[in-house]
Structure 1
Amino acid sequence: MRNAITVLLIIAAAFGACAQNTSADAAKPAAPDTIYFVNGDQIAAYVIDTSGDKITFEKQTSKKHKKIETDMENVFSIRYGSTGKEIMVYNYDTLIGNDYTVADARLFIAGERDAQRGYHCRGLSAAAFAIGVASGITGASLFVLLPPYVFTGIVNHTRVHVRHKSVTQLDNATRDPYLYGYAEVARRKRTLRTLLWGGTGVAIGFVLHFATGLNK
């Protein structure tokens, strides 16, 4: 009798362990989905809803399980982690401003992504900073902001040189949609950074103007 009870207890314990393992496996989240945005960004997230004109998702790193919504028009495609299948959200339609075919849009976004990751305008930022300092040190009232602003305007009209080190696939560097996407992000970076460093230079120039007694 005791042996029978012992056997039953062992069997029950084994079933309990199996149930715990099954529950633990079920609690494990599936592989995250990847959302590709038309601006070149991409995030790992769990897509919850794609109905209507918005996509609802939860970031992979979210600890509060906060749901986020974004407009469909901001998304290029979704790759589901559970199946590996990519679902296209973007569609070619000139009536709504989607002037690129899906293939060309993919190249455009690749250019944006490479520029975001690898384009740096350190030389232009340094030049903007130097111009800002030189302008600010004169102490000429609000007009000191003019030289850095003009410099930024000139820079934005110069050609963007694609740096091969920043190109993920070199074959793309000869394709016009890729180059357009790369240039768009590169110019945006130029604008923000030259304005930032130019303004910083002006502020430091002002400090030097008063610290060195040039205002006397």
Structure 2
Amino acid sequence: MTLRWLTALIFIGISSIINGQTALNDTIFFMNGDILQCNIIDDSQIEVVFEFQKRKKSKKRKQLGVHKSEIFGIINDGVKELYYEENEIVGDDLTVSEVEVYLAGQRDARELYKTKKIFYTGLGVTLAISIAGEAGLLAVTVPLLIYPTAQYIPYIKIKGETIVNPNHKFNLIYAEGYEGVARGKRVMAALKGSAAGTVIGAFFYRLVLQ
């Protein structure tokens, strides 16, 4: 009986240690809108050193140091600390509350703004042009340059379902943060789609039609 209890206590102790190792109790709020659950190791210098899991289901951790200028604030052992300070000399002219709204816009766009239509449009258009142009140099290169560049032109429409906090709906600062990230996603999706369409079209023409 004593041996069983001893074994059980050892098992509980090991489980507690493992759980303690895997728990990520701290939070870092980055200036690009990202939020990371982690364990902060040291925040006493110009960098915040922390460890985090690269993948949610993975137990492997990576240690990293990030300069405090790239961090809005942290929650370390339940205590919130802000690193951002309003400073017009260096271009930080937004108040803390305004930056929080701006970062919310970035975060919503990064997580919820969809670009599948941009990707497939680019794929279809460049595929057709590549084949129609007989996989020539202009047919391959021009659409690949023009379509991604064109994504800088259109107005970014912020749909209501992509706004997590309804209070941000008509906020210009929120929109500014949102649009910057959304436009970057549009350009990247257009680049990937047009590149895929160009390559597929060129191969199809040369291997099948030529």
Give the TM-score range, shorter chain: 0.7 to 0.9
* Amino acid aligned to 1:132: T
Cα distance in 1 for partners of 2:111, 2:59 equals 27
Tell me what 1:135 maps to.
Answer: 129
72, 94, 97: which one pairs with 2:91? 97
For structure 1, the residue ranges without an aligned partner over 5 or more in a row are 1-9
Q: Give the direction of change, closer, same or farther, for the CA distance of 1:206–1:101 in structure 2 (3 Å limit).
A: same
TM-score, structure 2 as length reference: 0.83
In structure 1, the partner of 2:189 is 193
2:145 is aligned with 1:149: yes
The answer as to whether partners of 2:24 and 2:52 remain within 8 angstroms in 1 is no
Query: Structure 1 CA distance, aligned partners of 2:166 and 2:172?
Result: 13
Structure 1 segment 113-192 matched on structure 2, within 5 A: 113-137=107-131, 138=133, 139-192=135-188
CA RMSD of aligned residues (A): 2.7
TM-score, reference length from structure 1? 0.81
Rounded to whole Å, the distance in 1 between the matches of 2:189 and 2:16 is: 48
Task: Tell which deviates more after alignment, 90-99 or 108-117.
Answer: 90-99
Identity level (%): 25
Q: Which runs of 4+ in 1 moved over 3 A?
A: 17-27, 60-66
Q: CA deviation at 1:94?
A: 2.1
Does 2:52 correspond to 1:59? yes
| Residue in structure 2 matched with residue 76 of structure 1 by the alignment | 72
Which consecutive residues of structure 2, in runs of 5 or more, have no partner in the other structure?
none
Structure 1 pair 121–63 and aligned structure 2 pair: CA distance change class (3 A): closer
- The one-letter code matched in structure 2 to 1:87 is E
3-state DSSP class of the match of 1:57?
strand
Partner secondary structure for residue 212 of structure 1: helix
What is the aligned length?
Answer: 201
| Cα distance between partner residues in 1 of 2:121 and 2:11 | 63
* Cα deviation 1:76-121 (Å, max 9, x = unaligned): 11123x32x3211111112223232111110010001000111012
